[in-house]
Amino acid sequence: MADAKNTIADTEKIYDLLILGAGPAGLTAAIYGCRANLSVLVFEQMQAGGEIASTDRLDNYPGFPEGVGGAEFGQLLEQQARRFGAEIRSAGIKEVSPAGDLQKVLTTQGLFYGRTVIVATGTIPGVLGVPGEEKLRGKGISFCATCDGFFFRGKKVAVIGGGDAALQEALFLTRFAEEIVLIHRRDEFRAVPYLQEQVFKQPRIKILWDTVVKGFNGEQQLEAIAVENVKDAQTAVLPVDGAFLYIGRMPNTTFIKGVETDGQGYIITSAEMETSLPGIFAAGDVRRKFLRQVITAAADGAIAATMAVRYLS
């Protein structure tokens, strides 16, 4: 990587605040940062709104009594951040490191410097690590029902997991799939009661309790899932056209070294979103916290940006 001094000369400007991730945490931070007169640049690898943009509906965010589409909510957040002057660039983050008093952020679109950084990169989907999973990813195995559900019209699919995401997306898939097998490793769901009630009412969702996935079968395309009952060790092979994995998520932090994290890799922050590195804040799902929801992500973003303002002054 080039020397910090040389590269600063090459960059157009040094930003007061670089925000990594344009989900609810990052874009709320952008709104607050811009309104405090900071120059703000936001990086996003996928689409504005982050993870929520690939969710069918957001039903528990206050102020939307009928709920709001995830993609629409993401666009509204983006519009609001841009209205106050935030720049948003499509780029992935490769590395964050200190450069004197500044922070250096290497992205897929080049090198950028900021006086402060807010890490709001959220999480990435967890994987099972079973045979066939890697090979058939994108060939019947998906992590996004909203993106891929359409391809399974009239077909049989499996959804793996028992949390809010698995149940919400299984319900979404009833719009397309003929049959949905919800495979969960225990005999009760972790998801909120509201989602459980909807799932139990839905005749096209069949539940396989106490069942784990042992492997995914198929050469060019997923054809079946090998499963095992954890109570009686009975095995079976379920023919399916698609499988959607919602077994929890992992923090997206591989680009930052030296920051204090918990045992699972979530960034540890103070209540004011300070990380263990000066000038670097974290907000949203990427940090260790009690409740990972859009509303708490937005609140984190507001606090992180306010702290960035304080840090700069």
Identify the bridge partners of residue 207 per DSSP, sorted by sequence position: 182
**Between 98 and 265, CB nearer to ligand NAP:** 265
**Between 135 and 292, CB nearer to ligand NAP:** 292
Cite the active site residues: 144, 147-148
**Between 161 and 279, CB nearer to ligand NAP:** 161
Which 67-126 residues touch ligand NAP, going by CB under 6 A?
Answer: none
**Between 176 and 246, CB nearer to ligand NAP:** 246
**Between 57 and 115, CB nearer to ligand NAP:** 57
For the CB of residue 207, give the shortest distance to ligand NAP in the complex, in Å. Answer: 12
Residue-by-residue DSSP string for 48-76:
TTGGGGGSSEE-SSTT-TT-EEHHHHHHH
- Residue 165 binds ligand NAP (CB under 6 A): yes
- Residue 265 binds ligand NAP (CB under 6 A): no
Asked if 166 and 143 touch (Cβ cutoff 8 Å), the reply is: no
Identify the bridge partners of residue 107 per DSSP, sorted by sequence position: 93, 110
Choose which of 20, 42, 53, 166 interacts with ligand NAP (CB under 6 A): 166
Question: Distance (Å, rounded) from C-alpha 70 to C-alpha 74?
Answer: 6
- Cα 253-35-10 angle, rounded to 5 deg: 60
- Residue 156 binds ligand NAP (CB under 6 A): no
For the CB of residue 171, give the shortest distance to ligand NAP in the complex, in Å. Answer: 10
Asked if 247 and 227 touch (Cβ cutoff 8 Å), the reply is: no
Closest chain position to ligand NAP (CB): 163
- Residue 286 binds ligand NAP (CB under 6 A): no
For residue 230, which phi and psi values (nearest 5 degrees)?
Answer: -75, -15
Q: Which of 1, 50, 2, 64 is nearest to 22 (CA)?
A: 50
For the CB of residue 240, give the shortest distance to ligand NAP in the complex, in Å. Answer: 16
For the CB of residue 177, give the shortest distance to ligand NAP in the complex, in Å. Answer: 19
Q: By three-state DSSP, how is residue 77 classified?
A: helix
Find the part of the chain contacting ligand NAP (CB under 6 A) among 34-42, 163-171, 200-208, 229-237.
Answer: 163-171
Find the part of the chain contacting ligand NAP (CB under 6 A) among 98-106, 149-157, 244-252, 300-308.
Answer: 244-252
Task: Write the DSSP symbol of residue 267.
Answer: B
Residue-by-residue DSSP string for 158-217:
EEE--SHHHHHHHHHHTTT-SEEEEE-SSSS--S-HHHHHHHHH-TTEEEETTEEEEEEE
- Residue 280 binds ligand NAP (CB under 6 A): no
Question: Distance (Å, rounded) from C-alpha 299 to C-alpha 44?
Answer: 19
Contacting residues toward ligand NAP, per CB under 6 A:
60, 128, 161-166, 168, 185-186, 190, 212, 246-249, 292-293
